[in-house]
Homo-oligomer: A and B are copies of this chain.
Amino acid sequence: MTSYVFDFSHGDKDQKDLLGGKGANLAEMTRLGLPVPPGFTITTEACRHYLAQGSEPQDLRLQVTMALRRLEDQVGRRLGDSVDPLLVSVRSGAKFSMPGMMETVLNVGLNDYSVLGLIEASGDERFVWDSYRRLIQMFGKTVLGIEGEAFAAALDAAKQVKGARSDVDLDAADLKDLVGDFKEIVLKHTGRDFPQDPREQLDLATRSVFDSWNTDRARLYRRRERIAHDLGTAVNVCTMVFGNLGETSGTGVCFTRDPATGRPGVYGDYMTNAQGEDVVSGIRNTLSLDDFAALDPASYGELRQIMRRLETHYRDLCDIEFTVERGKLWMLQTRVGKRTAGAAFRIASALVDERLITLDEALERVTGTQLANLMFPQFDPGTARTALTRGMAASPGAAVGRVVFDSPTAVEWAARGEQVVLLRRETNPEDLEGMLASAGILTSRGGKTSHAAVVARGMGKTAVCGADELEVDSVAKYAQAGGVRVEEGDLLSIDGTTGEVFVGQVPVVPSPVVRYLEEGLDAAVEGADEGTADLVRAVDRILGHADAVRRLGVRANADTADDAARARRMGAQGIGLCRTEHMFLGDRRVLIERVILAATPAERASALEALLPMQRADFTDLLETMDGLPVTIRLLDPPLHEFLPDRADLMVEVARAEERGEPDERAIRMLAAVNRLHESNPMLGLRGVRLGLTVPGLFSLQVRAIAEAVAARIAAGGHPHAEIMIPLVGSVMELHLIRDETDGVVAQVGADAGLDLTIPVGTMIELPRAALTAYRIAEAAEFFSFGTNDLTQTTWGFSRDDVEAAFFAAYLEKGVFTVSPFESLDVDGVGRLVRIAAQEGRAARPDLKLGVCGEHGGDPESIHFFHRTGLDYVSCSPFRVPVARLEAARATLTSGVDAASA
């Protein structure tokens, strides 16, 4: 027989799958002998059965009966008894915390008889009627689906009759009357009486917790947080204890360290004569733990002991809820506490010092995303600031600017040099230009997967989304929250890492972690406050260990010597992608234009010749900066017309000149050339290796420049390690043909320089066909570098520019994606191609080097996948290099390696 019910005394913290997080931790505390009110957990398995079949498992009823009997025997009270009755709480508790998403019913077991028993036992009539009133209200809303409005109205009416200003002004008699009113409401709305049978109350409450797993709200939350929909929730049935039985009672929350900064010490709040919901509702001010110590030294002492015990046991920051009932301390909940990014590093490092965890475990306690957040500029923590509101931390960073309420204004103000923050209810594709022009984006609707959030992350813009307290009037151009009104042009500061929004200009300070990465530990620690110094030391220690542990190499994508130098400081072990097209922009655009517009082969050859010394100098600088490390240089990739003026603009120019009767010959000639190169889908056009095979001399020029740069560096005593990468290969024949050409050029340059030059040649794997025929392509490639951006575009058949803004938000909302496939690699589709290419390429050429140079190279989840797939390195933007170092190390601890990749 399957066990669907576990007493708290049978279970432990590792059973979160079955008992949910709350249940597993209650069991653990019980096992440790801590004062947990007795109770039992109904498993997630029962919930899943209920959700799938529409009814509870057959055995459940009996198992609950038995558990209840054991509970009653243990506490010596009976549910619904007219003498000192047992009351229980019924709480949801899924594997992953979903705060506020699911249901809770307290005081189950009260009915018209047991109230009397409870009054006698507690000696507090008002408390008991209030408890009964709360049960009916909560049960009515949650279990019976009655609009909360009805109960609120009755409560208001009662207060009005009494002339009471607050609930506390109602006495026992008033509350008893109110219980009557509430029962009327139940009868009226459901056609039947409020259930008096305590067991019926319990069963219905349990079922309503099950049901609450599938509310729209809960589903939406899980989508946002990437929690699977098929886990289900457990239900915890726990003996009620009361913090609201007078001044010797109370309730509190506490942390074993500061979750905001990671500083050692205990932190928490306490409220006398209150229940948990009172603390949350913020009616009264809370006391500090020191106050609590003064008030009830015995309970406080016991609590401190338990806190130490729990932290040592969990070997991590614990977040604890407790209640004192008439001087007796009860533990209601504990869990490993959430913390800020900075706290995560400091705590992990401190726990190593305290010998509670190993360095490997410290690595598991921090994430690349946390490190990335620490690397954004931050609002100066030392400055006073005025909070306006808060929303979801949708895209990290700190942005300050003048508020605008529409995109045209954003574009206009930005054009005249203003920093702007675009504030909208929500954004849509027509806001793209405005978003691009803004320093930050703030919306009052939508969450982390809303259009604004998706697009902002894609653009790397700071964004706070779904700040739902904000009322936004984009016609009248103002917004307000909590009585504060913001007009167009007012300064706002938004923190995309925390979701906070401030009025006025909060000063932004550079990240101390970046300073450490750029300048080293000593420079970063010198003059820093203790917290900052502690943080930087923690990062240094953990990153150092990461470098020792990881198997994946980490390179950077960098096009210039400056970028490369920064990447090297950030810890890059080479350049995985140097895009040469960036070397043809600016002043040099006119040179590549000459190549494109050349009328004869001779003209083209001479135009190419003019480019040679510049390219050579570019590569020489780059190789010098990265001396001793590999530098992968990609030959020209984009279609040629990208270097020419926009076709539609030219057409307009020509037409305008013509209308004016002054035909513009230069524009007409240019238009003819542009028309010749025009493509309706440039991404799928004449670019990459196709260009190399159809524009004679182009790739040879670049290869010559690379080879000559290598020769020059060797002559200068350097250790250059250039690698030549061919883009957009779909067939091994393309690579053979290009190599026929380029290998000859390298040999020639080597011969001229009297050197035996060998420059490895490899290819991007960025087309599905390249992946599918990798076993052939490996014949002609010394390395593969996965271009996962293009591979994502071709595998899905969408172009990032065209569709991300147009429908990604909708796709995320509808659950087609859980995350944009451009942010995190689509393992099932694109990842399958990567795996095929890696395995079959290696089978054909065992020493094939495998890397990735798409943006996914800096994404934590994707890095774990690349580790599993057996790649040799990832390459990402210089700023993501530390993140990649960290996650590559974490992958060795948490991810296996695919059998075939081992």
Contacts and interface: CB of A to CB of B under 8 A. Distances in A.
Interface string A758-773: 0000000011110011
Given A651-B648, A731-B816, A830-B769, A793 B684 contact: yes
Interface centre among A647, A683, A772 (most CB of B within 10 A): A772
Contact of A682 (B430, B676, B680, B794): B680
Interface centre among A681, A684, A768, A797 (most CB of B within 10 A): A797
A690 B733 contact: no
A828 B772 contact: yes
A109 to B, nearest CB: 42
Contacts of A731: 816-817, 829
Contacts of A776: 828
Interface of A is mostly: helix
Given A656-B655, A730-B797, A769-B829, A802 B647 contact: no
A693 to B, nearest CB: 6
A429 B676 contact: yes
A796 B810 contact: no
A660 B796 CA distance: 46
A834 to B, nearest CB: 11
A582 to B, nearest CB: 19
B680 A802 contact: yes
A799 interface: yes
Interface string A385-413: 00000000000000000000000000000
Interface string A139-180: 000000000000000000000000000000000000000000
Contacts of A728: 797
A814 interface: yes
Interface string A674-710: 0010011111111000100110000000000000000
A768 to B, nearest CB: 4
A766 B795 CA distance: 10
Contacts of A828: 772-773, 776
Contacts of A803: 684-686, 690
Number of copies: 2
A798 to B, nearest CB: 5
Interface string A66-103: 00000000000000000000000000000000000000
B730 A796 contact: yes
A281 to B, nearest CB: 39
Given A648-B648, A679-B802, A684 B797 contact: yes
Interface in A711-746: 728, 730-731, 733-734, 737
Contacts of A656: 655-656, 659
Interface string A800-815: 0111001100110011
Interface in A781-802: 790, 793-799, 801-802
Contact of A798 (B647, B659, B685): B685
Q: How large is the interface on A (under 10, 10 to 19, 20 to 34, 35 or more residues)?
A: 35 or more
Contact of A769 (B647, B766, B797, B810): B797
A193 to B, nearest CB: 39
Interface centre among A655, A768, A790, A829 (most CB of B within 10 A): A768
A833 interface: yes
Contact of A681 (B681, B686, B690, B826): B681
Given A655-B656, A772-B795, A797-B794, A690 B833 contact: no
A832 interface: yes
A676 to B, nearest CB: 6
Nearest to A676: B430
A652 interface: yes
Contacts of A730: 796-798, 829
B694 A810 contact: yes
A177 to B, nearest CB: 49
A183 B349 CA distance: 94
Contact of A806 (B694, B801, B829): B694
Nearest to A832: B772
A773 B829 contact: yes
A824 to B, nearest CB: 15
Interface centre among A685, A776, A830 (most CB of B within 10 A): A685
Contacts of A802: 679-682, 684-686
A728 B796 CA distance: 9
A817 B693 CA distance: 13
Contact of A768 (B429, B734, B795): B795
A684 B681 contact: yes
B814 A796 contact: no
Contacts of A685: 798-799, 802-803, 806
Contacts of A766: 797
Given A651-B652, A794-B794, A816-B737, A684 B769 contact: no
A724 B430 CA distance: 33
Interface centre among A680, A690, A816 (most CB of B within 10 A): A816
Nearest to A816: B733
Interface centre among A733, A737, A794 (most CB of B within 10 A): A794
A830 B770 CA distance: 11
Nearest to A430: B676
Interface centre among A790, A798, A833 (most CB of B within 10 A): A798
Interface in A865-896: none
Contacts of A796: 730, 767, 769
Contacts of A790: 797
B772 A684 contact: no
A733 to B, nearest CB: 4
Interface in A639-660: 647-648, 651-652, 655-656, 659-660
Given A676-B430, A772-B795, A681 B801 contact: yes
Contacts of A682: 680-681, 802
Contacts of A807: 686, 690, 693-694
A765 to B, nearest CB: 11
A814 B647 CA distance: 32
A655 B659 CA distance: 9
Nearest to A690: B807
Nearest to A829: B769
Contact of A651 (B651, B681, B768, B811): B651
A331 to B, nearest CB: 43
Contacts of A806: 685-686, 690, 694
Contacts of A826: 769
A816 B655 CA distance: 42
B814 A733 contact: yes
Contacts of A690: 798, 803, 806-807
Nearest to A766: B797
A767 B797 contact: yes
Interface in A818-841: 826, 828-830, 832-833
Contact of A693 (B681, B769, B810): B810
Contacts of A811: 693
B684 A798 contact: yes
Contacts of A694: 806-807, 810
Contact of A833 (B430, B686, B772, B817): B772
Nearest to A735: B816
A787 to B, nearest CB: 10
Nearest to A818: B733
9 contacts: A652-B652, A680-B682, A681-B683, A683-B797, A730-B796, A734-B816, A768-B797, A769-B829, A794-B794
Given A684-B684, A686-B807, 19 more contacts: A429-B676, A648-B651, A680-B682, A681-B684, A681-B799, A682-B802, A685-B799, A686-B802, A731-B829, A733-B816, A737-B814, A737-B816, A767-B795, A768-B794, A768-B833, A769-B796, A769-B826, A769-B829, A772-B829
